[in-house]
Structure 1
Amino acid sequence: MTDTSALWKDYVPSRFGQLHYVETGDGEPVLLLHQTPRSWTEYVDVLPLVGARYRAIAMDTLGYGASAKPEEPHTIERFADGVGDLVDALGLDRFHLVGHHTGGVVAVEVAARLQDRVASLLLSATSFVDDEKRGGAHGSVDHVDPTPDGTHLRHLWDNRRGFYRPGEEEALGRYVIDALTVLDRVEEGHRAVRRYAMEPRLPQITARTLAVCAPDDRFSLPSLAKFAAALGCPTRVLSAGHAAAPEQIPREFADTVVEWVGRG
């Protein structure tokens, strides 16, 4: 179990209510954005490793974790509004940005908006949202119907069991906890991704960008080539892992972040 004693947890005000974040370390700020329906705990093992070199910050995306939960439908643009409010409240004039899955799509929007304030961008297992993605057939990933006998708790576990290897039950348990906090809206983040108009935003990105993906993440792996073509950015396939790569290979994930940030 990770020692979290060096992690600082706090809130900042935003136009939507309080936003929760966790940080550790000093130096250039590195902001990490999680997938949905997760929280900052997706980076619980990554934060101390990145924090050994930089000021590592992981926020709870607007609508998730301990951050404010507005009633309006989630959109990538609204998620990015929350990120903008957080970085302004923290006084981050320039920062490095990392996003995983939904967090990567949010990071695209943030980097397109803030441009030179984003010193570098790392997109992890990020969907390339084009007409094919928006128009494709999409089944439910995380939805469960609450049941009086609590069997929906097992269903939440089973929905993601295939993304985790034996021995990774602690990480899978963190997913279940996060999903339970937003059970009535657990699919909204995925729907927000599928509605997002990404293509016109990509030319607005000025930050040097790296796109990475775990080898077993079949949902996101094909996007590497699309980001390379659209942004002219390098890509990298990690050594192992699935959709939960930051929890499955935290050392390699953190080393990848540190190496990319350090290239500047």
Structure 2
Amino acid sequence: MAQQMILRGFVNTPKGQIHYAEAGQGEPVLLLHQTPRSWTEYREVLPILGQRYRAIAMDTVGFGDSYRTSEKASIEHYAAGVIDFLDAMEIKRTSLVGHHTGGAIAVELAATWPQRVNKLILSSCPYTDEEDREIRKTRPPIDDVAFSPDGSHLIELWNKRRAFYPQDRPDLIASFVLDALTVLDRIEEGHNAVNRYKMEEKTRLITAPTLIMTGTEDPASYPRMEPLSKAIRGSVSVEVKGGMVPMPEQMPEVFSQCVIDFLG
């Protein structure tokens, strides 16, 4: 089956324009990226999913080419932006795929707007309950770097992520750096939104069929896979051997097949 061409565009919402990329036709599947990334996290996934579905990857509000806002960043705020996007695209219901921060946003959507969600796929999603939020309060910033006249902040940004990426795939870190540089002045906003999110209050509200897929080499999410699975009634779990933080880019075929198998 031939891969589908990726088409890109903007859609107008009440608060500003949201950028997206899509491939294929049929039942919609909306993909939500981690922060501080953009739709490009799914560049290799879209054409694969597009062979069966209308696969759409949007830039979360405040990231990529979507509009910025002065509102305090929160998972609830990001999710409301997704609803505005779906309304503007005239999509009444969709399956959701969320990776890392995108997973937290997907949880909020499935809990607060269940009528808009068919199936839910949480990829390497954090589980921020009260215990985890306390731990996160003492963690150092993940990506925060200060601008340097000699450009050394670029090396610092690169090195902050090296341990979480395959050592033979510098191209994946390069993709991260390109996205991160567009929001360097507020690079921690997405992480901070996750840190504050009371996910345990929302997971109990989820009724959509849910898949939790987590890379075994992802130290940020793999230890939280079991408690997240227990928190969502009826969910099923899949361990992706060797999967790291950039799993959709690192192994797009494996990632896509997990999605296809669950969506049926």
TM-score, with structure 1 as normaliser: 0.95
CA contact under 8 A between 1:129 and 1:197: conserved in structure 2? yes
Equivalents in 1 of 2:263, 2:113: separation in Å? 17
Equivalents in 1 of 2:192, 2:175: separation in Å? 22
Q: CA deviation at 1:168?
A: 1.4
Among 245, 248, 252, the alignment partner of 1:246 is 248
Structure 1 counterpart SS, 2:263: helix
Match of residue 56 from structure 1: 55
Equivalents in 2 of 1:133, 1:14: separation in Å? 34
Q: Deviations over 1:114-144 (max 9, x none)?
A: 2132110000111111011211121111011
Among 236, 257, 260, the alignment partner of 1:258 is 260
Equivalents in 2 of 1:167, 1:48: separation in Å? 24
The one-letter code of the counterpart of 1:93 is K
Match of residue 138 from structure 1: 139
The one-letter code of the counterpart of 2:187 is V
Q: State whether structure 2 residue 10 is matched by structure 1 residue 22.
A: no
Distance 1:5 1:152, change over 3 A: farther
Q: CA deviation at 1:93?
A: 1.1
CA contact under 8 A between 1:32 and 1:59: conserved in structure 2? yes
Match of residue 82 from structure 1: 81
Aligned pairs for 1:150-229 (under 5 A) are 150-229=151-230
Q: Deviations over 1:205-262 (max 9, x none)?
A: 1110011110110110122111221113111110222111001110000001111111
The one-letter code of the counterpart of 2:257 is D
Equivalents in 2 of 1:92, 1:255: separation in Å? 24
The one-letter code of the counterpart of 2:76 is E
100-109 vs 192-201, which deviates more?
192-201
CA contact under 8 A between 1:99 and 1:124: conserved in structure 2? yes
Give the aligned length.
Answer: 260
Q: Which runs of 4+ in 1 moved over 4 A?
A: none
Distance 1:178 1:132, change over 3 A: same
Instruction: Compute the RMSD of aligned alpha carbons.
Output: 1.4
Q: CA deviation at 1:14?
A: 1.8
